């Protein structure tokens, strides 16, 4: 299928307190995204740290988000390294009112390309919801080859692929093979502009936690063919993007949201608090971009 997502979708952080998920802050983050004009949010994606959350916490986050998201699409990360668990999470997300699911490739198992197709077939058969395939080999240890993604598009509910391989020749070949069958989404902020220019219909962005409205403008500039404006905005965003990936995601973006004054807590172990050097880098990049940073 095509046309499910357009514009900017924010890969939302999960704010934590000592007692669990900080739902007060989560409500503020969701409201901020809606007010900014974001087209959607992903909860329980990589940036949301689901690997360190309990099943009960995940269900609560989905329920809460559904109750507080009104104008945007609500996507839920449901993938994992156990196909049966991924299917159950997908069914849960559907039952709780998700608009679509984001399913990362199985991590650690290092399955074959044939195994990838079987995994996505099981997820697609579990729900009528749009399914977004998520390719991020640096984190999972497995890469969806363009030919495999072309085969996955034959599964009727596949809406697109979130590409975060960082390999632009591969992205271009994937784009060629899936064009008109499902959509291409940028999953790597530093490559948002070239992936959009290659026909990407949306960005699923980490940095839009900080600047959702500006990321939306970037997508609109490309969609209307104003590449000069898109390049100007991309040039301004790149130092901020670089700072937000100075350590493994979501360590820096959580520190950056704290600098904006949001009580998001710390990443959960084994992730750690941002190093002071990273905080200083973020502070400088955010100030240079024009963001008001808490002292």
| CATH code of the domain containing 38 | 3.20.20.70
Confirm if 267 and 252 have CB atoms less than 8 A apart: no
Model pLDDT for residues 147-193, shown as the tens digit of each residue: 999 999 999 899 999 999 999 999 999 999 999 999 999 999 999 99
Give me the domain span that covers residue 157.
7-224
Is residue 41 a part of any domain in this protein?
A: yes
Is residue 205 a part of any domain in this protein?
A: yes
Q: What is the rounded CA–CA span in Å between residue 283 and residue 213?
A: 20
Q: What does the pLDDT read at residue 55?
A: 96
Is residue 256 a part of any domain in this protein?
A: no
Q: How confident is the model at residue 38 (pLDDT cuts 50, 70, 90)?
A: very high
DSSP string, 222-252: HHTT-HHHHHHHHHHHHHHHHHHTSSSTTHH
Is residue 26 a part of any domain in this protein?
A: yes
Residue 49, token pair as written in the block: 């740290």
Mean pLDDT of the chain: 97
For the cut 80, the answer to whether the pLDDT of residue 295 exceeds it is no
Confirm if 231 and 213 have CB atoms less than 8 A apart: no
For the cut 90, the answer to whether the pLDDT of residue 84 exceeds it is yes
107, 120, 134, 262: which is the annotated catalytic residue? 134
Q: Of 208, 145, 214, 154, give the one whose Cα is nearest residue 173.
A: 145
Mean pLDDT of 38-47: 97
Q: How confident is the model at residue 294 (pLDDT cuts 50, 70, 90)?
A: confident
Q: What is the rounded CA–CA span in Å between residue 45 and residue 26?
A: 15
If you compute the radius of gyration of the chain from its CA atoms, what whole number of angstroms results?
18
- Rounded percentage of the chain residues whose pLDDT exceeds 70: 100
User: What H or E segment, with its residue span, contains residue 186?
Assistant: strand 183-186
User: What H or E segment, with its residue span, contains residue 77?
Assistant: strand 73-77
Tally of domains within the chain: 1
Is residue 104 a part of any domain in this protein?
A: yes
Residue 289, token pair as written in the block: 């971009």
Active site residue 120: no
Is residue 152 a part of any domain in this protein?
A: yes
58, 73, 162, 258: which is the annotated catalytic residue? 162
Is residue 277 a part of any domain in this protein?
A: no
Q: What does the pLDDT read at residue 157?
A: 96
Model pLDDT for residues 209-263, shown as the tens digit of each residue: 999 999 999 999 999 999 999 999 999 999 999 999 999 999 999 999 999 999 9
Q: What does the pLDDT read at residue 110?
A: 93
Is residue 289 a part of any domain in this protein?
A: no
């Amino acid at each position: 299928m095509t046309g499910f997502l357009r514009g900017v979708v924010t890969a939302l952080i999960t704010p934590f307190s000592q007692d669990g998920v900080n739902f007060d802050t989560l409500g503020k983050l969701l409201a901020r995204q809606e007010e900014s004009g974001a087209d959607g949010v992903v909860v329980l994606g990589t940036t949301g740290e689901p690997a360190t959350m309990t099943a009960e916490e995940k269900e609560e986050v989905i329920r809460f988000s559904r109750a507080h998201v009104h104008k945007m699409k609500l996507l839920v990360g449901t993938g994992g390294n156990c196909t049966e668990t991924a299917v159950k999470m997908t069914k849960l997300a559907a039952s709780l009112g998700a608009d679509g699911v984001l399913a990362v490739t199985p991590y650690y198992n290092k399955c074959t390309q044939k195994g990838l197709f079987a995994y996505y077939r099981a997820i697609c058969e579990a729900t009528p919801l749009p399914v977004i395939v998520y390719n991020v080999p640096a984190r999972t240890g497995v890469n969806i080859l363009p030919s495999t993604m072309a085969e996955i598009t034959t599964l009727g509910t596949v809406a697109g692929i979130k590409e975060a391989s960082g390999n632009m020749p591969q992205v271009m070949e994937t784009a060629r093979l899936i064009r008109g069958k499902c959509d291409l989404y940028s999953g790597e902020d530093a490559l948002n502009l070239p992936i959009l220019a290659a026909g990407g219909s949306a960005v699923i962005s980490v940095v839009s936690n900080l600047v959702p409205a500006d990321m939306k403008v970037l997508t609109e500039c490309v969609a209307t063919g104003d590449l000069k404006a898109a390049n100007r905005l991309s040039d301004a965003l790149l130092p901020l993007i670089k700072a937000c990936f100075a350590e493994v995601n979501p360590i820096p973006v959580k520190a950056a949201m704290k600098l904006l004054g949001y009580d998001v807590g710390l990443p959960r172990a084994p992730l750690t608090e941002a190093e002071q050097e990273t905080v200083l880098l973020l502070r400088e990049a955010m100030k240079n971009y024009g963001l008001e940073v808490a002292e």
